[in-house]
Amino acid sequence: MNKAKHLISNAFMAFVDQVLPPRCVLTGQKVEAQGMLAPEAWAALNFIARPFCARCGSPFAYEIANDPAPTFAGMGDTVVCVGCLNRPPPYRTARAALKYDDSSRRLILAFKHGDKTHMAAAFAPWLSRAGREMLAEADMLIPVPLHRWRLLARRYNQSAILCDALSKATGIPTFTLALRRIRPTPSQGYLSASERHENVRKAFAVDPPFEDRLRNRSVVLVDDVYTTGATVRECAKTLLAAGALRVDVLTLARTAKEI
């Protein structure tokens, strides 16, 4: 955005704030600034906590959560879910800040359609905390890309905006164009898990000039929601085939119903 546009945008936002005071995207209560959440909204959000699968990060069910096994503690957790045992993911670990439920769905919808920059800045500390271990070893952040047609329709990639906010918070650089979606893929919303895997197969490629920078590097792949993991698995495979040392996955939310 050029400077004049930016000034106009700032002036416009100040005007909007006067006429329409900023409201919490979840509760509708007045808040101090755009993108902020009211205290009640915090209570409605379900942050993911241990124990969870050491690989895919899926939270374990109540009975297992109460298992006194010491393997759940701290960095040493090695318990892997049945899904990951049967079909080990190509990425090293996946972590998410929130369970994907009604509250986080509304939050992410507001992020997609509302004040993206402010909200992404609010999400960055959540992502930093959920991904603390992988980020400590990361050389770069790469967003899950949109195909250019969808990018044209939406005008922005929400995963790239999350990456930029996380870069600001952590100092780890974002490479927005490193990974490209080389064919459009139909929306995954109504597809089964196996259909989703087929839908995204060979849909991604590393930008050839970027391969040198990727070789032997640790990548954190960033997306808004992890559902079946089909998209991030395919992205991770593509990055590893192009020479990345390892790929971890960090998302704002993930479904938590498999286990």
Interface positions with Zn ion (CB under 5 A): 53, 55-56, 81, 84
Which CB sits closer to Zn ion, 34 or 58? 58
* Nearest CA-CA partner of 130 in 220, 66, 232: 220
User: Can you say whether the dihedral through the CA atoms of 77, 60, 194, 183 is positive or negative?
Assistant: negative
Which CB sits closer to Zn ion, 7 or 65? 65
Quote the radius of gyration of the chain (alpha carbons, Å): 19
Q: Are 98 and 255 in contact (CB under 8 A)?
A: no
Query: How many residues in the chain?
Result: 259
How far apart are CB 257 and Zn ion at their closest, in Å? 13
How far apart are CB 83 and Zn ion at their closest, in Å? 5
How far apart are CB 248 and Zn ion at their closest, in Å? 13
Which CB sits closer to Zn ion, 51 or 143? 51
Which CB sits closer to Zn ion, 53 or 98? 53
Residue with tokens 């490193």: 178
Q: Are 243 and 211 in contact (CB under 8 A)?
A: yes
Please tell me the chain's helix, strand, coil percentages from 3-state DSSP, rounded to the nearest 5. Answer: 45, 15, 40
Which CB sits closer to Zn ion, 77 or 139? 77
How far apart are CB 127 and Zn ion at their closest, in Å? 20
In the chain, the N- to C-terminal Cα span, in Å, equals 45
How far apart are CB 142 and Zn ion at their closest, in Å? 22
